[in-house]
A and B are shown apart, each in its own frame.
Chain A
């Protein structure tokens, strides 16, 4: 079982819609969780991080964490074509840092 699992997609949403990206993790000792965006041919960039159960909002992005269900999600409101990228979920457990394989998102104009 992988430490962090994501649906590889591709996920397609129309412009202006809400994109929902999901991630599960296996280690209950994980304490911090991250979402990265990676455009094709570029390196990943940090979008958000979350440590506590509940929601964390930053602009059009909302990260949601449910430790009981070992579930992390990222919502992108008012999706734009520029949001088309691969989204990587990551979890940190002590010195270990685990990435999912990423979900490809396409926002259709």
Chain B
């Protein structure tokens, strides 16, 4: 149980392109979903937290106009990287949680490379 599906796994695209990443909880309803970014050999960095039907809460320093998050249902959240540039290249990971004090369950991550 508690499976989170994230896709695509890999994206390679040109600078200036917008990229959408989907995160789905397959066998549970996720009241909260999280988006992280991780650079090689560094810690997870929380980008934003989203609750179904509400606007996402972004961490300090994360541009909300660049990283658009939509949490349209209890099983789906999307992250859109708008006008991506090479410095946006990273490993993006989503997670979902069923309720307060419950564990986060992670997707497999999306490796984004901007040329």
Indicate whether A94 reaches chain B with its CB closer than 8 angstroms.
yes
Question: Judging by beta carbons under 8 Å apart, are A90 and B104 in contact?
Answer: yes
Q: Which A residue sits closest to B107, measured CB to CB? A: A43
Cβ contacts under 8 Å, A61 to chain B: none
- Alpha-carbon separation in the docked complex, A94 to B108 (Å): 26
- Alpha-carbon separation in the docked complex, A88 to B42 (Å): 12
Number of A positions contacting B (CB below 8 A): 21
Cβ contacts under 8 Å, B102 to chain A: 32, 92
**Contacting chain A: which of B13-21, B60-68, B75-83, B93-101?**
B93-101
Tell me the minimal C-beta distance from A67 to chain B in angstroms. 14
Q: Chain B CB within 10 Å — which of A36, A44, A94 has the most?
A: A44
Indicate whether B103 reaches chain A with its CB closer than 8 angstroms.
yes
Total A-B Cβ pairs within 8 A: 43
Q: How large is the interface on B (under 10, 10 to 19, 20 to 34, 35 or more residues)?
A: 10 to 19
Question: Judging by beta carbons under 8 Å apart, are B105 and A46 in contact?
Answer: yes
Question: Judging by beta carbons under 8 Å apart, are B108 and A43 in contact?
Answer: yes
Indicate whether B34 reaches chain A with its CB closer than 8 angstroms.
yes
Query: Given the known A-B contacts A97-B97, A99-B44, are A42 and B104 also in contact in the complex, defined by CB atoms under 8 Å?
Result: no
Taking a contact as CB atoms closer than 8 A, the residue among B46, B91, B100 that contacts A95 in the complex is B100
Cβ contacts under 8 Å, B46 to chain A: 99
Indicate whether A78 reaches chain B with its CB closer than 8 angstroms.
no
Q: List 11 A-B contacts (CB under 8 A).
A: A31-B101, A32-B102, A34-B103, A43-B106, A44-B44, A46-B2, A92-B101, A95-B32, A97-B34, A99-B46, A101-B43
Question: Judging by beta carbons under 8 Å apart, are A99 and B43 in contact?
Answer: yes
5 new A-B contacts, CB < 8 A, other than A34-B104, A43-B107, A43-B109, are: A43-B108, A45-B106, A49-B103, A88-B44, A99-B43
Tell me the minimal C-beta distance from A32 to chain B in angstroms. 4
Q: Which A residue sits closest to B104, measured CB to CB? A: A97
